[in-house]
Amino acid sequence: MEEFSALMQGFAVVLTPMNIGLMFIGIILGVLIGVLPGLGGANGVAILLPLTFSMSPTSAIVMLSCIYWGALFGGAITSILFNIPGEPWSVATTFDGYPLAQKGRAGAALTAAFTSSFVGAFIAVVMITFLAPLVAKFALKFGAPEFFAVYLLTFCSFVGMGKGSPFKILVAMTLGFAMAAVGMDTVTGQLRMTFGIPDLMRGFDFLIAVIGLFGIGEILLSMEEGLEFQGKSAKINPKVVWETWKELPKYWVTSLRSALVGIWMGITPGGATPASFMSYGLAKKMSRNGPKFGTGEVEGVVAPETAAHAAGTSALLPMLALGIPGSPTAAVLLGGLLIWGLQPGPLLFVEQKDFVWGLIASMYLGNLVGLIVVLTTVPLFASILRIPFSIIAPVIIVICAIGAYTVHNAMLDIWLMLGFGVMGYVFKKLNYPLAPLVLALVLGDKAEDSFRQAMLISQGDLMIMWANPLVGSITTLALTMLLWPLISKGVALVRAPKVDEFAEHRGVD
């Protein structure tokens, strides 16, 4: 009960008119940042960090964390309405969110996304409140082999559990790994595949690739199909919100499982992006409606949004308890804490108790405020669908170009965005999946670094991937998922003769 009394003190710290006002401002700014492709929660928090230097640390962290919550909420808006992920973790939301909008159910998709985000964050904050010491101890056990095992699990689950041709999935993923290798080798410092172009030293930025593959690629397809949004007749009202709320309890198992995946990936830290992909894959595999995923299933929106928000929220725990940021945004917030004279780590819970519990209390309130703000403004976002495509398409292209340019302030990024747009168009025409390519691009270099560090530690011995129960269990699960299609076929072949033999005996009798 000590945690509960400390949380009540945190609510007393946060519940002031000033802090509540900052919550609303932060959420609205965050939603705008989430909607604009290319900005992202980390960039938004970094840009607005100087505004908080004159505030008290508690007020500053309340506003900045609410910008983060708003970006998490807002990333779903363009994903569902235009198939353009506003945030990297919103890519998986496009798989079913956009088809729902095309069917005229944009309101249901947005409501499901926002509500699932709130649920995921709430479960994560409850975990942070009551399980912080145990979680911090668990996170300390992760080294290079454990990180690589987590990345391997994510890749293998896509190949083994993905729909469509495993060959096409592997081709897309291999292309993503190749693009992830461009730039400076972080282990040796050598340049790879830069072809004498200085701007390629930093490699292909994930956000630029996503803006091109999904944004420009979708616009090219829409132009070919007749210059109109198929979901432009969407109507949203409180009745739609209420009906969606009545439908969501059916997916409570998916929500709970996705929240646990998100919490795990946020703490380890795997991040919100792989958490959303992994939870979507698990939901597709385990749901009775799994074969319909990708055609406009509400459950396909619930899974990635719940996981992304749970991961984004729980990523703050290792940052506070250990000083290890669990996400890019947590890294920016870590810098803010140091500027304000606070040293993250175990002693922070002792020396700055009011600050820590005030932040945890603001997580509860900030996400509730965020849900209220985005739900009350859903009609505003849905009205975008009623704008003729011939008007909105150039606007989207300009926003995408601005978003791509602001990542590094480089003109090359706009050309790369257009190149990725053509690639996205070709992939969709040839029925190659984009998600494995995106996943490999964003995680390929991190997985490579973890693997090479593990090999340096073990002097090239692969058995380090089974050196302890934690890394061994994750690696074994990853290989099982990778080989699952072969395993399932083998099981089917073993069972088939028994069925034939039984039928033969019945015929003889």
pLDDT tens, position by position, 261-282? 888 887 765 667 778 888 888 8
Identify the burial level of 151 via C-beta atoms within 10 angstroms of its C-beta, where 0-12 means exposed, 13-18 middle and 19 or more buried: buried
Query: Average pLDDT in the 402-419 region?
Result: 82
Q: What is the pLDDT at residue 208?
A: 79
Residue 212 pLDDT grade (very low, low, confident, very high; cuts 50, 70, 90): confident
282 in any annotated domain: yes
Residues 459, 344, single domain; the answer is no
Residues 149, 270, single domain; the answer is no
Residue 389 pLDDT grade (very low, low, confident, very high; cuts 50, 70, 90): low
Contact 163, 425 (CB under 8 A): no
Q: What is the pLDDT at residue 111?
A: 86
159 in any annotated domain: yes
Query: Average pLDDT in the 414-438 region?
Result: 86
**Residue 231: is its pLDDT beyond 50?**
no
**Residue 310: is its pLDDT beyond 70?**
yes
Query: Average pLDDT in the 336-358 region?
Result: 72
Residues 128, 276, single domain; the answer is yes
Residue 507 pLDDT grade (very low, low, confident, very high; cuts 50, 70, 90): low
Residue 325 pLDDT grade (very low, low, confident, very high; cuts 50, 70, 90): low
Residues 105, 254, single domain; the answer is yes
162 in any annotated domain: yes
Residues 375, 268, single domain; the answer is yes
- Does 394 sit behind a cis peptide bond, omega within 30 degrees of 0 on the bond before it? no
- Which residues on neighbouring strands pair with residue 183, listed in sequence order? 192
Q: What is the pLDDT at residue 286?
A: 83
Contact 240, 442 (CB under 8 A): no
Contact 334, 344 (CB under 8 A): yes
Query: Average pLDDT in the 390-394 region?
Result: 75
**Residue 169: is its pLDDT beyond 80?**
yes
Residues 97, 148, single domain; the answer is no
269 in any annotated domain: yes
Within 10 Å of residue 383's Cβ, how many Cβ atoms? 13
Paired tokens of 54 = 């004159």
Gap between the Cα atoms of 351 and 449, Å rounded: 36
Query: Average pLDDT in the 465-474 region?
Result: 85
**Residue 391: is its pLDDT beyond 60?**
yes
Identify the burial level of 309 via C-beta atoms within 10 angstroms of its C-beta, where 0-12 means exposed, 13-18 middle and 19 or more buried: buried
**Residue 379: is its pLDDT beyond 80?**
no
Gap between the Cα atoms of 61 and 49, Å rounded: 9
306 in any annotated domain: yes
Gap between the Cα atoms of 201 and 192, Å rounded: 8
Residues 250, 112, single domain; the answer is yes
Gap between the Cα atoms of 60 and 181, Å rounded: 38
Q: What is the pLDDT at residue 218?
A: 73
Residues 40, 175, single domain; the answer is no
413 or 396, greater pLDDT = 413
Residues 1, 27, single domain; the answer is yes
Residue 352 CA neighbour count, 13 Å, CB half? 20
233 in any annotated domain: no
Residues 98, 149, single domain; the answer is no
The pTM of the full predicted model, rounded to 2 decimals, is 0.64
Q: What is the pLDDT at residue 233?
A: 43
From 132-136, 191-195, 344-348, the region with the lowest mean pLDDT = 132-136
Q: What is the pLDDT at residue 161?
A: 61
246 or 211, greater pLDDT = 246
Residues 163, 308, single domain; the answer is no
| AA identity, residue 42 | A
Which of 373, 408, 443 is a domain's end point? 408
348 in any annotated domain: yes
Domain count of the fold of the chain: 2
Within 10 Å of residue 479's Cβ, how many Cβ atoms? 14
Domain that holds residue 152: 143-204+434-509
415 in any annotated domain: no
Query: Average pLDDT in the 450-467 region?
Result: 88
Residues 1, 19, single domain; the answer is yes
**Residue 383: is its pLDDT beyond 50?**
yes
